[in-house]
Amino acid sequence: MALQGVLFDLDGTVANTLGDLAAATNATLAHFGFATRPEENFCRYVGNGARKQVERALGRPVPPETFEALYAWYLQYYNTHACLRTRPYDGLPAVLNALRQRGLRLGIVTNKPQPMADQIAHALYEGVFEVVYGAREDYPLKPDPASARLAMAALDLTPANTLFVGDSAVDVQTAHNAGLPCVGVAWGFRGRAELTAAGADQVIDSPAELLSIT
């Protein structure tokens, strides 16, 4: 493959967002009188979008109007607290800059709501990613390939010259649904076992390994 571009998931792949996600969700649960959850549980809650994350953390059905109020409160809170503890993974900024120096075009494809995805990409990686496709109403969430295809079109890429990098089964499914090979990152939220079981084409343990793949 004559690689020309790489699409990255966000949470658990290029940014360790777990602390801020847990804090915002727990602040929401506490505000509405529900039990909070241990931070480590959020590794399992994240991946299918913010609504599903809040639903999983809630842990039980509630009336639709209660959930909508809770979810709206979460979005507002997280939007103003998204970058307190969120950090790049060690070694990744240098690797991404090296990929850009090779002429590769880089994008983010995530199920995180678009405003928060933009905020984190700007705060951690300003000027690194040319496009950020987050959760929006005009296309479905991953593993539907729509956002990956839109990112490729925006970057003038094709499945034949693009790689997808992510940390979960959702990312593997997204990549394969879009006709892309997927490299799984074992440093993320879900780990090597899930990525292997999902059919990742390769699983790596450190950002530096991306340089030998690309």
Q: Is there a catalytic annotation at residue 9?
A: yes
Catalytic residue among 9, 11, 167, 171: 9
The rounded distance, in Å, linking the Cα atoms of 146 and 210 is 25
- For 188, the token pair is 């993320």
Peptide bond into 88 cis (omega under 30): no
> Which DSSP helix (H) or strand (E) runs through 134?
strand 131-135
Whether the Cβ atoms of residue 108 and residue 131 lie closer than 8 Å to each other? yes
The C-alpha angle 76, 108, 86, rounded to 5 degrees, equals: 50
Write the Ramachandran bin of 161: left for phi over 0, alpha for psi from -120 to 50, otherwise beta.
alpha
Active-site residue set: 9
